[in-house]
Amino acid sequence: MKIKVMDKILAANDAWAEVNRKALKEKGIVMLNLIGSPGAGKTTLLEQTIDMLKKKKTMGVIEGDIATTKDAERIRKKGTAVYQINTGTACHLDAHLVNAAYNELARDKTIELVFVENIGNLVCPAEFDIGEDAKVALLSVTEGDDKIEKYPLLFTEAKVLVITKIGLLKYTNFNVSYVKKVFKKLNPFAPIVMVDSLTGDGLSTWVDFVLSLKK
């Protein structure tokens, strides 16, 4: 019973994801879906990405949160259009919510790039296709090196793995080569980018990945 209901919800979501994919193609908008634990560094990575790309691209951000508009306020300070979704209790964004959000952002006809910051969670957001061009999986070194095996769906679906907070590596027992090996087993062709959004380390490689996505 519970599973049947879930199947129905996912089928409805997939239909909306298809609508999104078609519309984004027509509009020429590339959409990235950032997924990671609470505190993995999604908002900070976005702040830096906006600074690095604002002369090249017109961008918009969709902020997904259970509560508060804190992240949206941080993004707005960067001068970028932002649409906040507060889900209340839902642990993920779905394709229908995202449809309303990018349609609002796309009233600016020059928009080329939309970043979705999903709810901080490694489980639910991975199950919901929102019609994005790429799921971006973030994993901070302070979370530990066992997370890919423990939450395999996200890391299988991701188009790129971004390992964050690498400046803190020396204070943790996070084993980078082990993580790379485990990730490559699940997802052999997705690139791995290592960044520290505070020092700027690795950000140019991340930005190159973003720019490589085309419509």
**DSSP element (H, E) containing 105:** helix 95-105
Residues that bind a copy of itself (CB under 8 A): 2, 5, 9, 37-39, 65-68, 70, 89, 91, 119-124, 127, 140, 142-144, 146-147, 149-153, 165, 167-168, 171
User: Which C-beta is closer to a copy of itself: that of 149 or that of 208?
Assistant: 149
User: Which C-beta is closer to a copy of itself: that of 65 or that of 129?
Assistant: 65
The least CB distance from residue 117 to a copy of itself, in Å, is: 12
The least CB distance from residue 154 to a copy of itself, in Å, is: 10
Spatial neighbors of 24 by CB under 8 A, at least 6 apart, are 30, 31, 102, 114, 131, 133, 215
User: What gap in Å lies between CA 157 and CA 129, rounded to an integer?
Assistant: 10
The least CB distance from residue 174 to a copy of itself, in Å, is: 10
> Could you tell me where the beta strands, DSSP code E, fall in 118-209?
134-140, 160-164, 192-194
Residue 24, CA atoms < 13 Å, CB-side half-sphere: 28
User: What gap in Å lies between CA 34 and CA 157, rounded to an integer?
Assistant: 12
The least CB distance from residue 67 to a copy of itself, in Å, is: 6
The least CB distance from residue 43 to a copy of itself, in Å, is: 9
Which residues are bridge partners to 35 per DSSP?
A: 137
User: Which C-beta is closer to a copy of itself: that of 24 or that of 182?
Assistant: 182
User: Which C-beta is closer to a copy of itself: that of 25 or that of 171?
Assistant: 171
User: What gap in Å lies between CA 17 and CA 129, rounded to an integer?
Assistant: 6
User: Which C-beta is closer to a copy of itself: that of 28 or that of 200?
Assistant: 200
